[in-house]
Structures are given as C-alpha cells and as structure tokens.
Structure 1
C-alpha cells in the first residue's frame, strides 16, 4: 500500500466527519456578531438594536427588554430611551421596573426626563434619588413642579433630602448647584495611617474623589493632598507635611462657565467649593466640567442659529419647536423688511439697469458669509477667553485686514467677470460694462469690510453690555451686511451708472 505524501494537498485536506456541519467562516461569524451588537464601532446604538427593542416594548416582552439592556451602561440606556417614540418611553421604563438604574436619570435629556419620572412609582423614584450624588439628584428634581418635588423628597431619607434641598437653594448654573456635597476632608494633624483606616471603615464616602482636603477647626480649606501622593507616603506621615497650599478654590456662587474656565486653565481634576466664609461646602470634579463644556458648546452653537432651546430634536414636541423657531424667524423677517426698504429706495435705478437685480444677491451673500465667519470665530474666542479687552484692538485690526484682503480679491474677480458679462449681453453703451464692474468691485470691498467689522465689534459690544453674544449677534450682523451691501452697491450704481 503506497504512503501518501505529506505535501499532497488532496490527501492532507481536513474533511469533517460524515454528518458533521462544516466549520463557519470566522469573518462571517464576526460580521454576524457585529450585526447583533447593540453598539457600533463609534459607541452609538445601532438602528437595528433600537428597532428590536422598540418591537419588544410594543409587545410588552419584559424578558427581551431586560436581555437587551442588561449589558448597556446607564448612558446607553438613556440614549435608547431618547431614541424611542414618546409613547414607548414610559413603557420601557415600566418594563425595566426595579432593574432601572438610578444613573439613567442623570443621563437623560431634561425634556425626556419628565415623562420618565412620571412612569416610575414615587417610592421607587425616591430610592433612585437617594442613590445619586447630591449634584445629580438636584439636577434630576430641579425641573419638577414644587408639589411633585415636595411629595418625592418626603420619601427620601432625611439626610439626602436636606442635602438636595440645600443644593436647590443655589442659583442654576452656579458652582453651588454643580457641586456634590459629599467630600473627604480631614484635620491637618491626621496621619496617613489614620486616613487609610477611615477609608477602610464603614463611613459613607463620596463615590468619586481625587483629593483629601485638609481643613482647620472652622472647616476652612488649608490645602489638599492628591491621592496619588497620599498613597506613596508612610503611615506615620502627617497630612500637614503633604498638603499643597496653593489649591484653586471655587466660590459657591461662581458661574459654571467660570468654573470650567478654571479647570481648563489650571488642568484641574477636582476643586473644593467654599462659601462666603471660605468654609468647605462641596467639591466639583472633572466629570461635571466635561458635561458643562459640552452643554455650553451646544448652547452657543444652537444660539447662533436661533434654535437655542432645541438640544434634542427627538425630545421636544413639534408645537414647541415651531414656537421657538417662530420668534427668531419673526426677528429675521423684520431685518429682511429693512433690507427690502433699502432696495426700494433705488427702484428707479434697478429699472434702468436690470443687471443690478441679478448681481445684488452676490454682494449680500458674500457679505453675509464673511460676517458669519468672523462672528463664529469671535463668539468662540470670547467663550474661551482668548478674546479679551486687552487684545480686542489687535483682533479687530486683524479681522479688518483679513476682510480687506478678501474684499479686494473678490472685487477683482467679480468686477472683471461682471464687466465682461454685462458688455457681452449688450446691456449698455460702450464702457458701461467697465463701470458696472468697478461699481461691483467697490461695493464688494465696502461690504466685506463692514462684514468683518460687524462680525467682531457686535459680539464685543453685546458682551460689554452684559448680553450673550451667541444669542443676539447673528441677527445684527446679518442686518448690517445686508443693509450696507445693498446700499453700497445700489448707491454707487445710481451715482456712476444712471447718473453718468
């Protein structure tokens, strides 16, 4: 009997036993697992997963709902609730029942949270509130009506209730509302060993903290000891020998944007919050600041478009969205009427030189876009404190120079093109094409200059008088660019085309 060669591919091919299923391709299995996964590569919920959960909710299938949500983080479940229809949201919460995680409440958009809170029994909701840190609990209940809030807090343990009520006494968007009251503080004479024993005891500690705050008998902050430094020291070392005294402290009434600025400027992970008597009342951690930065950036971006109340397009009812947009559209209508009034002053000029009607939108559009560019940069730099009173003149000069350069460049380009086009269509006597080109070029330079100046000066002026530049600037800049653009172009045309 001949032996088969080890190199014979046919003889050495592995074949499955008779009746056994062939091995599945690894790539195919990986693709199927990816298709069944609730999250895609970017960490977002997949449309298939959302659809399948929605169907399970519709059929009231609690087991399928629990199986789908068991491995999701609180933020993912909150995202899932927001993606579902208004009718399905309370049904999902009801199906989750006691498996509903308290942290989900802090992750929900405020416009969705209201319907979720209504779907949870008061006693169960009180338990969830007690599980949250003070800042998160205050964030959840702050938008409830007074009667509902009082009824809920009556079910919360007294210590947690007093802490939440104290947090709600501070103004919204301040450090007092943002902070958590649970802190780890110790007297200066404590040793590292004593602190370690405290940490290992049954004492209730903050869920997350990075520093041990060292306080005097009046509970005023002497300094702080980072946990990384604290854990390296021998047990007998006193805290006073480890303390960093130049700790950045946050006043309790400081605006949350100011707090975020301090964190960004000094690369902070946490900071103590002190009252008017410099006594320690809480702390702010970097996870809170990330949320603030995200929220403020969203608000500024939406405010520039006049839709500041639409943080989540799926959360708001259609009538509310329509009302919020109507206000700004009405304001824009007023500015458009003003621009139309300027045009009406030169109706005779337009009748004589019809080409002006064709070229007018170019001037206004270029001015509007240039103004928006400058405005966006200005508002952003005001928010990040890169644009201040100290460097405002330099920034204004730079923006004016940029506008002048772009104005001249587009003036040459459009002036030549308009002149050739007008002469080619036989729109006027010899030389009128060149005159029209020069008029368009001059109007373009004037419009671009006004766009650059208004884009920087208007937000600076609004901030100076205490208004939010992100909310009001766009309307004013658009008005300036339209009015100046139309007036410059039509005025110059009336003087040099019709009057010649």
Structure 2
C-alpha cells in the first residue's frame, strides 16, 4: 500500500501487503480479495480502512469487480463511503442492484448531494413507484429540477445538462461579476465560463473565467464576452451534442429551451462519457451483441442477441438456396465446394470493412448528403483495387494448385465481382437504413453479410456453370 493509504489504516487493523493498483491503474485481484475477506469476516472497519483512500471511481470499480451475491454485504460494510460520487461513477446494472436495496429516503439523500445530471442518472431507471417515493423525499428545489429533467427525452441534452451555472446580466461590469462570485457561497464551484444573459434570460454571450480574472474591474462584461457561442437545444440528442463539443473544441456549452432561455449547461466531463458510450454502442450494434455489458443480466443478453442470430439464420437460407440451384455443377466438380467459402468469406470481410467506415462516418456526421456520391465513388475505387489484387493472387494460386487455369480464371473473376459488390453494399445498405430512419449500426451487418454470401456463391457457381467447368 502507499504511504497515504497506510495513514488511513488504524493500528489494530492488519493490512494486505499488495498494492491497490497495478501498472495500468486497475484494482489488483489481491486488493479486491483482501477487502472482501475482511467483509466476510465481519471486519467492516478494516475493509473501510483499505477502501477509504480510493477515488470514487475506484470504489465504483471495486463494486463492479465484486460478485453480485456479495455486493450487498460490501455496501453494508462501506455504507459511509457509498456516497453520490461513487454511485455516479458506477456501472448502470451494478448501481441498480444497490439502489434496489436502499430505502427511498436514502436514495433521496444521495441524489440531493449530486449535480442534477448525475441525480437523474440514478433515478431515471428506477421503477415508477420507487421513483415517485424518492422524489417525494427530496427537497422541493431538487425535486423540481429532477422532475423537469425527467420530462425531457432519454439521451437528450435536457437529461445531460447541469442546472447549476453562473449567469450575469449584460449591463454588469467585470467588478460586479467578481463581487457576485466572491459574495455568494451558494453558487456552483465547478464552472469554466460565465454566461451573459439579457433581461429575458436569453444568452447573449459567454466569458471564460480566465478573461474575467485578467480584465480590469471597470470594463463592462459585454465588452469582454464572446458573442459567438455554441448553444445546445434542450431536446438535442446527446450524441449530436457530443459532436458539437468535438467539432468546436468546447469545454462547456449553454443549453436553451424552446423559447431560447438559458436553462442549463453541459460540461466536457459529461461529454467524454457520452463519446465513450456511443462509440462502444455502435461497435456492439454492428455485431448484434446488444448492450454488451458484462454486468447485464443473462436473460437480457440472451434476448438482445438471439433475435439477430435468428435473422442471420434466415438470411443464411438465401445463400443455401443459391447453392442448391447449382447442385449439378458442384456434383460435376467437387473442388467448387471447397473454394466457395473463400469467395464468400473474403467478400464478407471486404463488406464489413466498408460498412464499418460508413457507419462511423454517419455517426460522426462526416458523411452527409453533400458528399454521399463522392464517398460511394471512393469506396468503389477502393473495392476495385482490392478486388484486382486479391483476384490475381487467388487466381494464380488456384490455377497452380489444381493445374487448371480455367478454374483459376473463374475464381479470380468471381472474387473481383464479389469484392466490388461488397464495397457497394457496405456503403449503400447503411445509407439506405439511415434514409428510412433505421439505425444503420443495428441491421447493416445482417444485410451486408447476406449480400456478400449469396452473391459470392451465385457469381462463382454461375461462372463455373456458364464456362462449362467440370472436373
């Protein structure tokens, strides 16, 4: 343990010799085991002494690394350390398990300590009856703020924003702003910008805190502020808000309601979480793995994954039907059966590559109506180059391996054609789904795989039949 950790440990408590973190800043298995052993032996004081020096995010990790059937005992032993900051950092499924074990007044007490966005994250997934009970137990101001946030759509800026911000009238001087900041103890302590508003509370500009500190007191705040600012509508999807932060290199941004009034702000620390979640979500959707959370209940994982496996089974029948159409051709030359999976497999990989690039471009707003055709032409050129290269390699290899130049030419032509089809499908399928309002990350892989498999078999076996290729 570190020197800091040792200072927090009572003299009568035995301490594990292993450090709490490994070289990659993860909790070590030995540390987790040491804490749980103390909990199991009833040594709550010893467990708290080991855990107390940890950052709230590390305490959240400790709960996530603890088996689900032992988390309640750990929570009881660390009750005084299990505060709002820890719950805000915790995995959603783990947090729900712990919240279910708490009384409504305990949840309300924790939520009251947090910023509105973090409190909403804790309360929004609760059962409706439990949610009402928690809201009743909150202070009136906190309850009103959280109820307002819950009225906005899920994954919107309204759910994500913080209500605590610094807003000042445009007729103030820098000195007025400094006196206001220093003379009000109830103001939020975490802010980077001061928002300047008009009489109707519409934002007219913003001023970085560093500008306020470095400007003479007599200067009007309206002369210091930046009038151009990025405003986030309260109903904007959180992914779009994240893209604005990324595009304009924002630290914080004002959130406005439908009438243009300033109602909150979003800070970059919240956006980092959103970017991470959305990126991981798109990858998991491409594979049909649902949320892909290792803490997700088994039945929930089963339900989210099995429907795509069933859909994949249905599309696989299309490829199987095509193979059946060329049963006679395959019977005449059994070698075709061994080579078919190569054509379909390489085409599938080519389609997946293009599809991944397209889905990412759509998610990050790189691919729009203004550059759609340019992107399609680009991917076709890439597919032609890839197809030509792979076709030459497979054609020569098969011709030499089977001493059959005609077979080499057939598989080369089929490979070239299927990679070109794969490149077009990888772009057109996500674009089509996007145009009709479907999430391209969810269904693209099923349709692209069906296209490359079925067309790969059809082109290869069709060319073999058309050229009279026999063994």
Which of 377, 380, 388 is the aligned partner of 1:397? Answer: 377
Report the Cα offset of residue 327 of structure 1: 1.0
Q: Secondary structure at the match of 1:71?
A: coil
Q: 1-side partners of 2:452 and 2:36: how far apart?
A: 49
1:235 is paired with a residue of what secondary structure?
A: coil
- Per the alignment, in what secondary structure is the counterpart of residue 68 of structure 2? coil
Of the three residues 311, 314, 338, the one matched with 1:358 is 338
1:367-424 residue CA offsets vs partner (Å, 9 max, x unmatched): 011111111111111112222221121221121111111111111111121122223x
Residue 42 of structure 1 is matched in structure 2 by 24
In structure 1, distance between residues paired with 2:43 and 2:97: 21
> Is the aligned partner of 1:466 residue 2:437?
yes
Of the candidates 328, 350, 356, which is equivalent to residue 376 of structure 1?
Answer: 356
Q: Who wins on radius of gyration, i.e. which is larger?
A: 1
User: TM-score by structure 1 length?
Assistant: 0.88
Picking from 483, 486, 495, the partner of 2:454 is 483
Given that 1:94 and 1:120 are in contact with CA atoms closer than 8 Å, whether structure 2 keeps it comes out as no
Work out whether 1:108 is the aligned partner of 2:80.
Answer: no
Q: SS of the counterpart of 1:176?
A: helix
- Deviation of the 1:202 alpha carbon: 4.1
SS in 1 for 2:194: strand
CA distance, structure 2, for counterparts of residue 160 and residue 262 of structure 1? 29
TM-score, normalised via structure 2 length: 0.94
- The counterpart of 2:387, out of the listed 397, 403, 407, is 407
2:317 aligned with 1:337, yes or no? Answer: yes
The one of 132, 147, 151 equivalent to 1:150 is 132
Find out whether 1:349 has 2:320 as its counterpart.
Answer: no
Report the counterpart of residue 300 of structure 1 in structure 2: 282
1: CA distance between counterparts of 2:16 and 2:379? 49
Given that 2:406 and 2:469 are in contact with CA atoms closer than 8 Å, whether structure 1 keeps it comes out as no
* Partner in structure 1 of residue 47 of structure 2: 65
Report the 3-state secondary structure (helix = DSSP H, G, I; strand = E; otherwise coil) of the residue aligned with 1:273: strand
| Matching residue of 1:15 | none
| Cα distance in 1 for residues equivalent to 2:437 and 2:291 | 20
Q: Is the 8 A contact 2:35 2:47 kept in 1?
A: yes
Residues 238-278 of structure 1: CA deviation (Å, up to 9, x unaligned): 21221211111111111111111111111111111111111
Q: Which residue of 1 aligns with 2:415?
A: 444
2:73 to 78, 91, 95: 91
Cα deviation for residue 323 of structure 1 reads 2.3
- CA drift at 1:123: 2.5
Contact kept? 2:333, 2:470, Cα under 8 Å: no
Q: Establish whether residue 75 from structure 1 lines up as the match of residue 57 from structure 2.
A: yes
Q: Which portions of structure 1, spanning 4 or more consecutive aligned residues, are displaced by more than 6 angstroms?
A: none
Deviation at 1:341, TM superposition (A): 0.8
Which residue number corresponds to residue 275 of structure 1? 257
Is residue 303–residue 470 contact of structure 1 (8 Å, CA) maintained in 2? yes
Cα deviation 1:411-448 (Å, max 9, x = unaligned):
1111121122223xxxxxxxxx1111111011000110
Which residue, 291, 313, 317 being the options, matches 1:309?
A: 291
Unaligned runs of 5+ in 1: 1-32, 424-432
The answer as to whether partners of 2:290 and 2:301 remain within 8 angstroms in 1 is no
Structure 2 unaligned residues grouped into runs of 5+: 1-14
Counterpart in 1 of 2:4?
none
* Contact 1:57–1:88 (Cα < 8 Å) also in 2: no
Deviates more, 1:259-268 or 1:41-50: 41-50
Cα shift at 1:38 = 1.3
Q: In structure 1, the residue corresponding to 2:67 is in which secondary structure?
A: coil
Task: Kindly state the Cα deviation for residue 188 of structure 1 after the two structures are TM-superposed.
Answer: 1.4
Distance 1:448 1:76, change over 3 A: same
Mapping of 1:197-346 within 5 angstroms?
A: 197-310=179-292, 312-313=293-294, 315-346=295-326
TM-superposition CA deviations, 1:450-489 (whole Å, max 9, x none): 1111011111111111111111111111000001000000
| SS of equivalent residue, structure 1 residue 272 | strand
Counterparts of 1:165 and 1:227, CA distance in 2: 31
- SS of corresponding position for 2:254: strand
Structure 1's 129 and 326: CA in aligned 2 closer, same or farther, altered over 3 A? same
